Amino acid sequence: MTRLFVGLSIPENVQKTLAQLPSDLSGAIWKTPEKYHLTLSFIGNVDGPTAQEVERELSYVRFPAFYMSLKEIGYFETGDIPHHLWTGIEPDKALRELQEKVANAVRHAGADGQDRFKFHPHVTLAKLMGTSLSEVLHYVEKNNLYHSPEWQVTSFCLFESHAKENGEGKYYTILHEYPLNLI
């Protein structure tokens, strides 16, 4: 079985701005720059033939290149317990349209895409372990003016997620990159 997702890579210059955000939040496990990505569709575990069909269906997606940037800091919570810190996307209209095309291709390939939740475009910055809501709110207030440089999105990727052998975290490899139509 292969664990897949479709997403956007984050350019190196933007990765550097994210890595410069303060890392002074207790209980935060910060992502390293090479792990920054924006998930368009989480596919999950699939067999080889399904993975090949996903790769084929994604090759049919046609969409124009577009510009975007990262903006603001936020967090996901369950009840009053924050569990992930993220940065959002600006603007997200083109991104949402691309995501819909990608999700349709994944479904057409026979993979449900496990998109159980409404699409909330973001880049995860840190996993929060026991961080209090007041600490998170203070961090967000201090850093919410974050705004990355704008970049042109010229492709999306099919990623494979791998668990590290020591059981501590994951790493990602790009299986295939799909170009967007340059204007």
Give, for all 183 residues of the chain, the pLDDT tens digit: 899 999 999 999 999 999 999 999 999 999 999 999 999 999 999 999 999 999 999 999 999 999 999 999 999 999 999 999 999 999 789 999 999 999 999 999 998 766 556 889 999 999 999 999 999 999 999 999 999 999 999 999 999 998 766 656 778 999 999 999 975
Q: Name the residue range of residue 41's domain.
A: 2-179
pLDDT at residue 118, as a whole number? 81
Strand partners, 87: 73, 123
- Residues 62, 102 contacting (CB under 8 angstroms): no
- CA–CA distance, 178 with 124 (Å, rounded to integer): 22
The neighbouring-strand residues paired with 171 are 162
In this structure, the number of other CB atoms found within 10 A of the CB of residue 6 comes to: 25
The 10 Å CB-count burial string (b at 16+, else e) for 160-169 is: bbeeeeeeee
Q: Strand pairing partners for 70?
A: 89
The pLDDT of residue 162 is: 87
d(CA 51, CA 171): 18
Residues linked to residue 8 through DSSP beta bridges, in sequence order = 38
Number of domains in the chain: 1
Q: Strand 170-179 vs strand 155-163: parallel, antiparallel, or unpaired?
A: antiparallel
**pLDDT value for 167:** 56
CATH number, domain at 154? 3.90.1140.10
Q: In the beta sheet, which residues pair with residue 88?
A: 71, 122
Whether residue 181 contacts residue 65, with contact meaning beta carbons closer than 8 Å, is answered with: yes
State the pLDDT at residue 163.
78
